[in-house]
A and B are shown apart, each in its own frame.
Chain A
């Protein structure tokens, strides 16, 4: 019966919402600060961000040609 189906769907939805409502949250200011800190700490290793010494990026160096 369709009404039985939507009843159990609603019950599941309510249970799911209760679960999500109970999640522990932190303030955006704190979360944002930590995202920023991660960026700063790892910036030096990020080749696409800061570039790497010439020759050490395998895609940037000129390709060697194989002689057949």
Chain B
């Protein structure tokens, strides 16, 4: 009689390390040897995991559905309907009052100093300039070691600026009024990301900086020590913008990204508390409504939108069929009635926030508008463009 025996190997199991009879098993084209008990366990584990994954997926879908349902229940009216009885706005006469020339390449970002007069701007050519917007004089200038300085911010005290971009860092430069100031020598590297820095902002003091990065995260840093205080994970792609809630409303900020999501974060816990996904493309800019109860966004989908935080939903869309280029930067006027938005078609559109209509188009820039901020006291706003200039409008 012929008998074929399966050759049994006796030795330490590749999984549990116990000495047992082993069975050869191929795992991803590698030969392993497991004892029969481990083989059984792995088979049921695999099954368990797949079951859990599938049930989690369906739980996620049903939660998403429930979220939409809950939001829809409270959607009893549109913002512009509520605003029907509000007086319409008259004609606006807004002109360029100053042009800041001096950058050698595209202006990518700008920020106002709390003194309502000084401005910091950064450019693709690596230069960061501090201007006196009243006189258009340049007060400070520093050349960064990288090109594409995509983010810059003024410290609340007015004594320092922060900037960064393709160097993946956010650095702080103190501003002095020494005759032969060497800004580069006093540079302090604060934030380190694993991809480009897209946005930065000091918090209420010169001591902490919030950053957003192409690496998909936001982070809070201590300026003095460079220590990471909190990181914010949740975006599924590059984070392009952020804005801090007005100080009265507490410790939150909003961020927008290439994943088309706007996310609101608790700064202390690192938790995302609300998220909104109604845009059809990258969100380039987010800005809180002055009361802190809402925020606006500007996107490559050529629309700007208003999200109310207490209703937890989008409450207005600012769009026109004729506007087909992305909105790069948005900001509110002091009362929140006007939304200024800079676009890639070189224009700035002024929207009536309540009624949803456009009240003005501003022409002047000769290339994309990349950045736009209203001054701290609301008397003017500044726009920066790929045409190498900044303009002050009032």
Kindly list chain B residues whose C-beta atoms are within 8 Å of the C-beta of A46.
Answer: 333-335, 337-338, 378
- Which residue of the partner chain, among B77, B89, B274, B291, contacts A28 with CB atoms under 8 Å? B77
Closest B residue by C-beta to A16: B272
Contacting A38 at CB < 8 Å: which of B77, B275, B291?
B291
In-complex Cβ contact of B315 among A10, A23, A31, A40 (8 A): A31
For chain A, the count of residues having a C-beta within 8 Å of the partner chain is 44
Given A10-B60, A25-B71, A29-B82, A49 contacting B308 (CB threshold 8 A): no
Given known A7-B53, A32-B79, contact A25–B334 (CB-CB < 8 A): no
Chain B contacts for A6, CB-based, 8 A: 53
Q: Which of B60, B64, B74, B82 contacts A33 (CB 8 A)?
A: B82
Query: Considering only CB atoms, which chain B residue lies closest to A3 in the complex?
Result: B49
**With A28-B75, A31-B310, A35-B289: A49-B66 Cβ-Cβ less than 8 Å:** no
Contact status of A10 and B353, CB under 8 A, knowing A16-B234, A21-B63, A23-B274:
no
Residue contact A25 to B74, C-beta cutoff 8 Å: yes
A25 touches which of B135, B310, B354, B377 (Cβ 8 Å): B310
Binary contact track A18-46/B, C-beta < 8 Å → 1, others 0: 11110101111111111110111111011
| Known contacts A18-B63, A39-B353, A58-B379: A47-B97 contact under CB 8 Å | no
Residues in B with CB closer than 8 Å to A60 are: 97, 394
- How many residues in B have their beta carbons less than 8 Å from beta carbons of A? 65
Q: Are B56 and A28 in contact (CB-based, < 8 A)?
A: no
B60–A25 contact, CB under 8 A? no
The answer to whether B336 touches A28 (Cβ under 8 A) is: no
Q: A32-B315, A47-B379 are in contact. Are A20 and B336 (CB under 8 A)?
A: no
Q: Is B19 an interface residue (CB 8 A)?
A: no
Contact B336 A39 (CB under 8 A): yes
| Residue from A10, A34, A42, A59 within 8 A of B97 (CB atoms) | A59
* Set B46, B64, B374: member contacting A48, Cβ < 8 A: B374
Q: Which residue of the partner chain A has the closest CB to B28? A: A1
Contacts of A34 in B (CB 8 A): 291, 293, 310
Residues in A with CB closer than 8 Å to B60 are: 10, 13-14, 17
Instruction: With both chains docked as a complex, state the minimum distance between the C-beta of B74 and any C-beta of chain A, in angstroms.
Output: 5
Is B37 positioned at the interface, with any CB of A under 8 Å from its CB? no
Q: Can you name 18 A-B residue pairings with CB atoms under 8 Å?
A: A10-B56, A13-B60, A20-B275, A23-B273, A23-B312, A28-B315, A30-B311, A32-B77, A33-B82, A34-B310, A38-B336, A45-B335, A46-B338, A49-B334, A52-B379, A59-B97, A60-B97, A63-B135
Given contacts A48-B379, A57-B380, 11 further A-B contacts (CB under 8 A): A3-B49, A27-B74, A27-B76, A34-B293, A34-B310, A39-B336, A40-B86, A42-B334, A47-B334, A48-B378, A48-B380
Residues of A within 8 A of B (CB): 3-4, 6-7, 10-11, 13-14, 16-21, 23, 25-36, 38-43, 45-49, 52, 57-60, 63
